[in-house]
Structure 1
Amino acid sequence: MDKKELAANILEQVGGEKNIKDVYHCATRMRFTLLDRSAADKSAIESLSGVVTVVESGGMFQVVIGNDVSDVYDELLQITSLSTSSTESATERQKENLFNRFVDLISGIFSPLLGVLAASGLLKGLNAVLVSFGWIDQTGGTYKVLNAAGDSFFYFLPIFLAFTAARKFKVNQFLAVALAGALIYPDLATAFKEGISVDFMSIPVVLAQYSSTVIPIILAVWVLSYVEGFFKKLFHESVRNLLAPFFCLVIMVPLTLLVVGPIATFASSSIAAGYLAIYTISPIVSGLIMGAMWQVLVIFGLHWGLVPVMLNNISVYGRDTLSAMTGPAVAAQAGAALGVFLKTRNKGMKALSLPAFVTGLFGITEPAVYGVTLKLKRPFLLACIAGAIGGGISSAFGASAIATATKSILTFPIFVGPGFIGYVLGYFVALVLACVLTYLFGFKEEADPAREKQRNEEISYNKNKGEVVVSPMTGEVLRLAEVDDPAFASGGMGQGIAIIPSEGKLYAPIDGKVEMAFPTKHAYGFRTVDGGEVLIHIGLDTVKLGGEGFTSYVKTGDSVTKGDLIAEFDLDSLRKKGFDCTTPIVITNALNYQEVIPESKKFLKHGETAITLVGSSDTNEKKEIS
């Protein structure tokens, strides 16, 4: 399924644009805040090709997609007005659980910054490595340029946060940025550094260092949301665009410097001091707890609540120990996925676990967690144990980070400094230990030699003894590789055939159930009684029609028998509109079979054998992995 089609189907299944208060994305998931949760079909979304899973937590409906999430998100914005509007009201916000509102707020503010946050942190770390090895001079131009590239994001962090916070608080984003700019204005920053007294209308200003800070600007934008709302209501629309921003700046800049800023600065110092007090009681215990719990928090999207603490630690102390506790937890999930890959004989699980291990090394654990470790249960728990041990080792050495970034093998440089060896040791201990524990104790597979012999004999089954998928339409047969769509032609969607239909009718290819009848009526998913999964996509890019020209006679969950009429479509109309009517018929769980044998005929009538499935079905595979 292409990204545009996936975005359209997700939009449909969450209840449409009218049901979305807000949506944004992080590294692997789109996070929806919905008006009516009951209007969203979680199981339907999870069944979409391209969706890993759906998680509901922190008041958010989170659709986990993986590395392509930003592309799907962009397609979603193209077909909606969500980037410029929101249906959320203050009354609706008040109805939400306070904790859910907090998690939604923090993740909404920090998620859009994730990519540049990680890149800037990595660059700062690399710069530190170059200096520590004496490869560049800290007083030279090369260092200054690289330092500016890596440090600019963190120095001007209040401006970035002002922009994303304004979106969450429904404030004019440029007004919020102007407020942030005033906090780090050079004259005021110089006055603070040199100890020069500043007053406003004879009221002394308590100056502070606001560059790289987190809490002051977020609190200031929150206050700004009420001030701007007041003036928008006060002034007539003919002068509103001029006078509302004018009075907001006149009031908010002094108010922030005199009241909001000092309060927020005190809160920042208190949070940092409180964290340090807990950490110093027992760094090892702190590392054990965070190493064990980090991935649990990630599953529910609650880890965002700790991101401000990490950034605040860096702002106050220059380094952050919390990041060093959580890196081994990421490595442990990757190690557990590797352990599954080394042990399992299940082709489907092997195909999932190796890529999951690789992406885990680069800091993205959703494929490992949702596709492998959590699915098998015990490997996830063993990875949490390994993560705890790795986190304890890292904390025992006093490891810390000079920036916040995705925890991966690429971001080791941000931990250069005191305790760096401990972090590296904790990371690889967690990775290797999780791999070994998973291999030894993670799951059991049938090791009966007789069963292995039987499985090998299944490969030589006569075609007629396999599970048969009949042709759902009449027309010319093509190999999937000949389909003008990379997703199908590459085999990424599964194995099968394609048909160029000669009539506009689609019939049931199997005895079983309709797993998914797409709202646009152009695609259908079926599941056979023995576990085979069949996807039929009428034409290419036909999702753009929104169902026009299609008539569907089934809905999700209906039982069908081979030959039942599923849908009709206006073949001539599709061709006149320029659509390629080639219809892929693919077995999406082909990896669960020893062979998927497409029919060799060049033309098929509906009801004739199209694909034969030989070997273990999905049901049999599930029996083998517990």
Structure 2
Amino acid sequence: MANKNYDELAKQIVANVGGAENVSSLVHCATRLRFRVVDSSKVNKEKLKQTEHVITVVEAGGQIQVVIGNAVADVYNTIIRVTDVKSDDEGTGNESSEKDKNLINLFMSTVSGIFAPTLGAMAGAGLLKGILILCTTMGWLTNDMGTYRILFAAADGVFTFLPLFLAYTSAKKFGADLFVSVGIAAALVYPDLTAAFKAKEALSFLGIPVVLVSYTSSVIPIILSVYALAKLEKGLKKILPGVIKNVFTPLISLVVMVPATYLVIGPIADYAGKLLAGGYMTIVGVNPIIAGFILGLIWPAAVMFGLHWGFVPIVINNITQYGRDTLFTITGPNNFAQAGATLGVFLKTKDKKVKDIAGPAAISAVLAGITEPAIYGITLKYKKPFFIGAFFSGIAGAITAAVGAGAPALLGTSLLTLTGYIGVGFTGFCIACAIAYFGSAICTYLFGFDDSMLIDNEKKPESPVVPEVKDEMIKAPVNGALIPLSEVPDEVFSSGTLGQGIAIVPESNVIKAPCSGTVITAYPHAVGIRTALGAEIFVHVGLDTVKLGGKYFELLVKDGDEVKEGDSLIKVDIEALKAEGYNVTTMILVTNSRDYEEVLPSAHNKAAAGDTILSCISRK
């Protein structure tokens, strides 16, 4: 994908996630753009999936994840440059929403927001460590050589001073002062106190004994400390006079948070980290073969939903506590398994389009450890190759766990990073990767794929089967003035991205069903209905009203309910919305407009509830 194409691609992606105003935050990892959106009903996932250069779209962990592949960083930078989406550096750090009440979504969102920006540096440093291990093993370098020491500083510095990196990203996530946060992290790795820990000195603060622990390479203490800092700063800004706020807020923050971290947060977090690492080692230690097989087996699904990076804190904590990690080592051969399954498809198929996708995807997975193009472009698409890869990933995971292989740094497993695993169990790990790769390739070639599968996966999209719909009249859900959809001051609605339709300015507080059918979407501010004749109708009350979190709304239906035309769907306090400055214009959309020959809006300027406002004309 050439750079000249990024501008248009970036604009298409942003338009289909609901526009820049619908994006509360955007970060990226190795292959995905991770959007946090204000209103998920504005996201057109189907159109995103059909966008050229987009591999697929996944909604998981409270995020809309647009899988791009190796070019993700360039696409991300272009989005920041050519659209109104702000980079994470310019965010407010306040991303709370209704979906955050789901603890899993909240956890995944927090972890990805904190760790995703650091993964490139950690991956590069980890690979450099692997190269240095190879160089010393082969006798090309020795530990006392200046060349080795400088390169090792480049590799190990990222991990030694990891709290500084995480302080910065945590501050952006929680909305704390960036440089005060980094200052706290710097105090945790300050040479004098690091030396005091190594010398086992007895220190006290105002007579209170300090439990010294090692904060170099640590993860949990600084994240908790920055979270507490964000709360402290919020309180200080409320009570300090404006004339001294800018100086005394950082002063008090440092004076309070650095001792608090050394006295309370750090020791508790260190203990929690040891429990976490110990718990993981216990689980694997009970029966490493079974544990390794289960981890390897389920790992492709974790990658598929983008949940694998949620394990990064455990991996880094393992390295901090034990000097090496086995979790990502056990799951690492999955990259070879999916690469092998994709290679099997590449060798078996005679279809040029499939070969053009499978070849680069297989190479990317085995050389760089980037498996999303292989998974979404090939193995998951044809199902059997995906499950074959998962099975051999489990076999390889069992072998890796049995031999006790591990890595001293965060590594993505690939041919280029194998040297990073030199040490205990290295030979067994290489054998496991080979079994995952060749086993998946051979089994996929023999019985996991043939070109008859292309009938369902390639040929049908070229001649899509249009759902059979019939002519239908859609009624006004409320009394009010009618306005063309193109005049709605919201690009997502006015552009027709979500479907053709019309808008009405409601004059009463009850929004009624514009048609009979089954409720397929139910939010406090919006309801979708599928009719017996095939129309999919979406009623959205007001602009940006999702921000109210249901305030002033009473939803009267739920998913799956059968409703009749004229039944009450939503009660809303229209005057209260206006008083808070919200535009109450209500959109009535036919979200499957493309299935019709035409969707004709009413030519009248006003309508009463029950009047026909849209005519859906089917193809004859």
Q: Give the one of 146, 149, 158 matched to 1:153.
A: 158
* Partner SS, residue 65 of structure 2: strand
What runs of 5+ residues in structure 1 fail to find an aligned partner? 448-466, 468-515, 522-553, 562-626
CA contact (8 A) 1:23 1:30 kept: yes
Distance 1:408 1:153 in 2: 21
Question: Which residue matches 2:184?
Answer: 179
Q: Give the one of 364, 370, 380 matched to 2:376.
A: 370
Q: CA deviation at 1:213?
A: 0.8
* Partner SS, residue 412 of structure 2: coil
Matched, 1:344 2:381: no
Matched, 1:15 2:18: yes
What aligned pairs does 1:278-297 form with structure 2 within 5 A after superposition?
A: 278-297=283-302
What runs of 5+ residues in structure 2 fail to find an aligned partner? 454-462, 464-491, 498-590, 599-620
What aligned pairs does 1:90-105 form with structure 2 within 5 A after superposition?
A: 92=97, 95-105=100-110
* RMSD of equivalent CA atoms: 2.4
Distance 1:56 1:286 in 2: 28
Q: CA deviation at 1:87?
A: 6.6
Question: Which residue matches 1:209?
Answer: 214
Question: Which residue matches 1:317?
Answer: 322
> Closer, same or farther in 2 for the Cα pair 1:557/1:435, shift >3 Å?
same
- Deviation digits for residues 5-24 of structure 1, max 9, x if unmatched? 11111111111222112110
Q: CA deviation at 1:140?
A: 2.4
Distance 2:442 2:195 in 1: 55
CA contact (8 A) 1:517 1:556 kept: no
What aligned pairs does 1:227-242 form with structure 2 within 5 A after superposition?
A: 227-242=232-247
CA contact (8 A) 1:394 1:426 kept: yes
Distance 1:22 1:326 in 2: 30
* TM-score after normalising by structure 2: 0.72
Matched, 1:305 2:342: no
* Partner SS, residue 116 of structure 2: helix
Matched, 1:381 2:381: no
Distance 2:372 2:90 in 1: 30
Distance 2:174 2:60 in 1: 21
Distance 1:309 1:114 in 2: 14
Question: Which residue matches 2:86?
Answer: 82
* TM-score after normalising by structure 1: 0.71
- Deviation digits for residues 278-327 of structure 1, max 9, x if unmatched? 11111111211111111110111111221111111110000111121111
Distance 2:171 2:419 in 1: 32
Distance 1:217 1:22 in 2: 22
Q: In the alignment, residue 128 of structure 1 is paired with which amino acid?
A: I
Distance 2:244 2:319 in 1: 43
Distance 1:382 1:143 in 2: 42
* Partner SS, residue 137 of structure 1: coil
CA contact (8 A) 2:62 2:100 kept: no
Q: CA deviation at 1:82?
A: 1.6
Question: Which residue matches 2:439?
Answer: 433
- Deviation digits for residues 160-190 of structure 1, max 9, x if unmatched? 0111111111111111110100000011001
Distance 2:353 2:101 in 1: 41
Q: Give the one of 188, 196, 213 matched to 2:193.
A: 188
CA contact (8 A) 2:219 2:317 kept: yes
Question: Which residue matches 1:225?
Answer: 230
Q: CA deviation at 1:135?
A: 2.0
Distance 2:120 2:148 in 1: 23
Distance 1:314 1:230 in 2: 36
* Partner SS, residue 30 of structure 1: strand
Q: Give the one of 60, 76, 97 matched to 1:73.
A: 76
Distance 2:493 2:383 in 1: 31
Q: In the alignment, residue 301 of structure 1 is paired with which amino acid?
A: G
Q: CA deviation at 1:239?
A: 2.5
- Deviation digits for residues 123-156 of structure 1, max 9, x if unmatched? 1111122222222221222221121111000000
Q: CA deviation at 1:251?
A: 0.3
Q: CA deviation at 1:81?
A: 5.1
What aligned pairs does 1:554-593 form with structure 2 within 5 A after superposition?
A: 557=594
Question: Which residue matches 2:418?
Answer: 412
Q: CA deviation at 1:395?
A: 1.5
CA contact (8 A) 1:382 1:434 kept: yes
Question: Which residue matches 1:549?
Answer: none
Distance 1:300 1:149 in 2: 33
Q: Give the one of 18, 23, 27 matched to 1:24.
A: 27
Distance 2:595 2:436 in 1: 47
